[in-house]
Structure 1
Amino acid sequence: MMCSPWKMSSLILAFLALSFLNDRVPAVRAQADISAASPVKYNFVVKNTTFTKFCEARTILTVNDMYPGPEIRVKKGQTVLVNVQNDAAYGVTIHWHGVKQPRNPWSDGPENITQCLIQPGKNFTQEVIFSDEIGTVWWHAHSDWTRATVHGAIVVEPPPDELSDSPLRFPNYTLVFSTWFNQDLKEISDIIVLNGTNTAEAAGYTLNGFPGDQVTCDNVSEPTYNITVKRGETYVLHIVNAAMHEGHFFQVGMNNGTFDNSTDPASYNLDDPPEMNTAVVYGSGWTAVRFFANNPGVWFFHCHFESHVSWGMATALIVKDGPNLDQKLKPPPAGMPSCGA
């Protein structure tokens, strides 16, 4: 997947709908094994867990029995090894969203693009290489609709000598917005692929796994997520929209109507285009983006409506090796998931 200005994760090619812990606690962080030798190590166990949301009990796919999944905190420039153990009933992959993964597409995670599925009962240790990222990115499953429940935040902290100038010197909280379905997500995916129609309707949205206080069951409100702050203090919020698929590129222009190659490029902002997380292409409209192809590999460029991907709204961008060692792909790791039956 292409992520960052150099590696695009996705492009939403139509109107973007926001579709893509039962205890009242802050976003829970995964426990890391941090040694002087680095890299940082995490264990993810993908498994079914039952939660009650919007007045219904539903068994969903989770990581470490959590919805949303565990938060990862790393320092800028660190490498992380995540051992993903799949205890679910069907194959999954995990994508590290917004992480550039220089020269390392092997652990990027899009299903059947850079790796095959991690099959039930199997595991795969993914090497997640952080370079100049800082701030908030996220991880999520990247196979069918599994990302709706298998996702979590990644907070990349500055090194100690940069902390005093960073907003992260203030108290900070992570907020993960998610979509909750009272339908079985695997069944939804199968119906879409079979019929080419998307009839799924979300029951509502959650914040760190909690619905809003307007949700009542038998006249009793479901618990909500709250943050207590002090007047006059400064806080940092790490906000992840786990329903969107983020891609880092620079949007230089967009408009309604048919693109005219003879006139529209004159309107491009090539001086300081905003770095966008997501680009929306309106019906009968267009969007122009640009990126710097300095990360070798094969990257997935696609609409993020899962049904649209199944219809063929996807392609692969191939970035070839450059002449220098730091411009060439790393070799694939041992133990990659098998693509055989």
Structure 2
Amino acid sequence: MGRGNRFHLAIIPLLFLAFIGFMSTPVKAAVKSYQFNIQVKNVSRLCHSKPIVTVNGLFPGPTIYVREGDRVLINVTNHAQYNMSIHWHGLKQFRNGWADGPAYITQCPVQTGQSYTYDFNVTGQRGTLWWHAHIFWLRATVYGAIVIMPKQGTPYPFPQPDFEFNLLLGEWWNNDVEEVVKQGNKLGLPPKMSDAHTINGKPGPLFPCSEKHTYSMEVEKGKTYLLRIINAALNDELFFAIAGHNMTVVEIDAVYTKPFTTEAILIAPGQTTNVLIRANNMPSRYFMAARPFMDAPISIDNKTATAILQYKGVPNTLLPRLPKLPALNDSAFTLSYNAKLRSLNSLQFPANVPLKVDRRLFYTIGLGMDPCSTCQNGTQLVASLNNITFVMPKTGLLQAHYFNLKGVFTTDFPDRPPTPFNYTGAPLTANLQTSQSTRPRLSKIAFNSTVELVLQDTNLLSVESHPFHLHGYNFFVVGTGIGNFDPKKDPSNYNLIDPPESNTVGVPTGGWTAIRFRADNPGVWFMHCHLELHTGWGLKTAFVVEDGPGPNQSILPPPKDLPPC
């Protein structure tokens, strides 16, 4: 069973107006405006040219630069026949789910001829995040970086770099992926995998006709560089390395980490990683490379994307050498790498890990097959949490919650699976009576309560790693392991001192991950696998976090231009 991808090839000229404010006084922020045009552009990759959605004619889209404490307004006008919404991945959006962006969760999409202004504050965050389309599969090309600079006068808690570069890892399809997906659905199978991986939109010289489609980064000997690395791929966890150069990891998902040096990193879809490199090698040309990690018996696009790190003054004719990347199925490296990730946990940047837990949740991740009368094979693939396949609503869930609209969703999502079993034992072919109700089933969480959620992979059809993203929050990854989670023994090994803090975490193949967070952000917050294929199959849910009693502990009123359904 291969991971496939779906891309909604659409002509969508949009208009972004970004007003980025820089705080001049505690009361009023100065405002600086930027304009971004999203349009269709013919882009050639791998000897193939096709129209794709671009921002300012760029693929990937432009970087949004803000500073901690800024207010940001981004106006989106949709001139196309297709709907659009944008998610600001990793921004917490305190009390302000209206600006979060997932279609039919916190907003209805921006329809043809309509506009919507995303209005939010950047509070208590600094580092690298990103933005992307959050409807259908449009994020295949609609994505870009968000760089949040620290407050004025606040230095990095690591050596000041001389320069910074953004590296966005992605995927590319030569064909209209929407048609590929339709064909897969017709057969009841995953769609065709991508044709290439990319670094800053380019596959590199290992592909035919790609000499001019290679990203190059020039460095000077003796200088230090901060690389902001983002995995915008739809369906692949990726290894990344630079020939001849070690990397020092200093941040993940816009949270500072205890620095450690490594030859390669692992980065899941949705995650960001900041690394420092020192240009201290012999002046030459060196390949930077990214390729997938997959330790399950699943076929994937195992092609290596490359870019070039080139020392200043070195001729372009010099042949670069490839870095040594971990093997495709190197589980030992991935477990060792993830174990090195630790929050900085300094006086200025503490790790406020919840020690007392008010609510314990246990969610099983499963794949299954359901009957399908319109599929050629007579079955279709589905995915579930606690045996429940999420059904997308036709009304925004946040609107339904805020205005108390009846009949849109229920709040009876179970805290644990209805039928316990040996989750990672022999392969199971049944889907344990996967439920698909007519309305989404959500989980209600009390305001300011502390939550522990254990995500357990299962061997329903096949074990597989799953990167899960929680909107509206960061969380602490307090534990992880292989096999079935043992609630009596495994918590004794939790890291409750300096666990990594993030917004996206990989659940290991045939294993489990435990996260903790404090539910202090009221609203409706999406949680889903960041593999687009699995999200489309229903591997998602949402939390309804109730309002608190205080004046600043309830959802803000919706903006007047909130898109209608």
- TM-score (normalised: structure 1): 0.83
Aligned residues of 1:41 and 1:80 also touching (Cα < 8 A):
no
Residue number in structure 1 paired with 2:219: 229
Measured in 2, the distance between the counterparts of 1:302 and 1:160 equals 35
Of stretches 142-151 and 301-310 in structure 1, the one that deviates more from structure 2 is 301-310
Letter in 1 for 2:535: V
Measured in 1, the distance between the counterparts of 2:548 and 2:39 equals 41
| Equivalent position to 2:231, from 214, 235, 241 | 241
SS in 2 for 1:175: strand
Paired residues for 1:153-192 under 5 Å: 153-163=145-155, 170-191=162-183
Of stretches 134-143 and 266-275 in structure 1, the one that deviates more from structure 2 is 266-275
SS in 1 for 2:154: helix
- Give the deviation of 1:54 after TM superposition: 1.2
1:253 aligns with 2:476: no
SS in 1 for 2:491: helix
Measured in 2, the distance between the counterparts of 1:168 and 1:147 equals 33
SS in 2 for 1:161: coil
Measured in 1, the distance between the counterparts of 2:103 and 2:202 equals 29
Residue number in structure 2 paired with 1:4: none
Number of corresponding residues: 314
Of stretches 241-250 and 30-39 in structure 1, the one that deviates more from structure 2 is 30-39
1:138 aligns with 2:130: yes
- Give the deviation of 1:80 after TM superposition: 0.7
Against the structure 1 CA distance between its residues 297 and 135, is the aligned structure 2 distance closer, same or farther, given a 3 Å change threshold? same
Letter in 2 for 1:292: R
Residue number in structure 1 paired with 2:77: 85
Residue number in structure 2 paired with 1:68: 60
Measured in 2, the distance between the counterparts of 1:205 and 1:56 equals 15
- Give the deviation of 1:291 after TM superposition: 1.3
Measured in 1, the distance between the counterparts of 2:192 and 2:479 equals 32
Q: CA RMSD in A?
A: 2.8
State the percentage of identical aligned residues.
43
1:326 aligns with 2:552: yes
Letter in 2 for 1:135: G
Measured in 1, the distance between the counterparts of 2:141 and 2:48 equals 16
Q: Higher strand fraction: Structure 1 or Structure 2?
A: 2
Residue number in structure 1 paired with 2:499: 273
Paired residues for 1:285-304 under 5 Å: 285-304=511-530
Aligned residues of 1:44 and 1:82 also touching (Cα < 8 A):
no
Deviations 1:244-283 (A, max 9, x none): 1244421111222222222222222222211245322234
Letter in 2 for 1:245: G
- Give the deviation of 1:167 after TM superposition: 5.5
SS in 2 for 1:67: coil
- RCO greater where, 1 or 2, for CA within 8 Å and sep 6 or more? 1
Measured in 1, the distance between the counterparts of 2:159 and 2:544 equals 36
Letter in 2 for 1:160: Q
Aligned residues of 1:179 and 1:204 also touching (Cα < 8 A):
yes
SS in 1 for 2:534: helix
Measured in 2, the distance between the counterparts of 1:59 and 1:259 equals 47
- Give the deviation of 1:221 after TM superposition: 2.1
Against the structure 1 CA distance between its residues 303 and 33, is the aligned structure 2 distance closer, same or farther, given a 3 Å change threshold? closer
Aligned residues of 1:47 and 1:86 also touching (Cα < 8 A):
no
SS in 1 for 2:171: strand
Measured in 2, the distance between the counterparts of 1:312 and 1:326 equals 34
Aligned residues of 2:4 and 2:190 also touching (Cα < 8 A):
no
Letter in 1 for 2:143: H
Measured in 1, the distance between the counterparts of 2:182 and 2:556 equals 36
SS in 1 for 2:538: coil
Against the structure 1 CA distance between its residues 156 and 17, is the aligned structure 2 distance closer, same or farther, given a 3 Å change threshold? farther
Deviations 1:44-64 (A, max 9, x none): 444322100111002112222
Gaps of 5+ in 2: 8-15, 234-268, 272-468
Deviations 1:13-66 (A, max 9, x none): xx999999xxxxxxxxx9965677544444444432210011100211222222
SS in 2 for 1:232: coil
Gaps of 5+ in 1: 1-14, 21-29
1:123 aligns with 2:349: no
Residue number in structure 2 paired with 1:25: none
SS in 2 for 1:227: strand
| Equivalent position to 1:99, from 68, 91, 96 | 91
Measured in 2, the distance between the counterparts of 1:44 and 1:189 equals 30
Computing the radius of gyration from Cα coordinates, the structure with the larger value is 2
Against the structure 1 CA distance between its residues 41 and 201, is the aligned structure 2 distance closer, same or farther, given a 3 Å change threshold? same
